[in-house]
Amino acid sequence: MNDCVYIHESIPIEGGARGRLIELLRSRWGPHLERDHGVRLVGAWATVGSTAEWPEVQVHWETDDWEQFARAQAGQYPMEERDIYLAEIWNQALEFRQHGHSMLLRAAPFSPDLAALTAQNVIGDVILHEDVRSRPGRMGDYHDALRSEYLPLAEARGLRLLGAYEHALIPNVGLNLWSLQGWDHWQALMETEPDDTELSQWTERQGEWLVDIDGFLVAVPPAAALRT
């Protein structure tokens, strides 16, 4: 059971500063939030422009539970009064970004937390991001099928689950994150997909629970990546 609460952010980048924002998140923003507010940085990733919006950064955060989430928010806002250091970082980042979009997420019961991902060294160099919209009230049924039917198929094809989530505030909206072994792995998946009968059956079966699923790729930059 995963009781953690997650925040997923999509941040359009101004100019060519995507790597600088990622480094700021890794070196200052993330450590500060974890130390002072118990908010852990799962990852700061670069959207692959040939598959989605660009230039863009995807950021994924984790807190222990709703109590910890509430404490973290109370400790941060308004930043100018309660967390001056965070306000300085936030304002510094205005050089790189002007706005963004956040999703507040609950994890599916079988979704791994950051401790499990780290222990198993799951996060690879390429991540498949899937935005999910379910039929009304069917997200739970979809997650049940994802665990029992698709997860074994995905793992047999080398995919590792980073997280399966539902939006805490907007009904019938979810997010899946899958780790790939690298670009050779992605190539192999794309080349075999048209003839993959089991995958085709799963794709068709998803229509029982889902209205839409839209995927794109994000890349995990190396440490101190000032250009991405």
Rounded distance between C-alpha atoms, residue 136 and residue 163, angstroms: 21
What is residue 202's predicted lDDT score, i.e. its pLDDT?
97
Backbone angles phi, psi at 193, to 5 degrees: -60, -45
Strand partners, 137: none
Between CA 49 and CA 153 the distance in angstroms is 27
User: What is the model's pLDDT at position 100?
Assistant: 84
Q: Which pTM was predicted?
A: 0.93
The highest-level CATH class for domain 5-107 is alpha beta
Interval 211-225: pLDDT, tens: 999 999 999 887 654
Give the residue among 52, 19, 222, 14 at the shortest CA–CA distance from 125: 222
Partner residues linked to 213 by β-bridges: 132
Size of the chain in residues: 228
Q: Quick check: 228 pLDDT over 70?
A: no
Residues 5-14 pLDDT 10s:
999 999 988 7
CATH T-level fold of 114-219:
Alpha-Beta Plaits (3.30.70)
| Sequence ranges of the domains in the chain | 5-107, 114-219
pLDDT tens digits along 56-86: 999 999 999 999 999 999 988 876 677 888 8
Model confidence pLDDT, tens digit, residues 106-140 = 999 999 999 999 999 998 899 999 999 999 999 99
> Are 167 and 189 within 8 A, CB to CB?
no
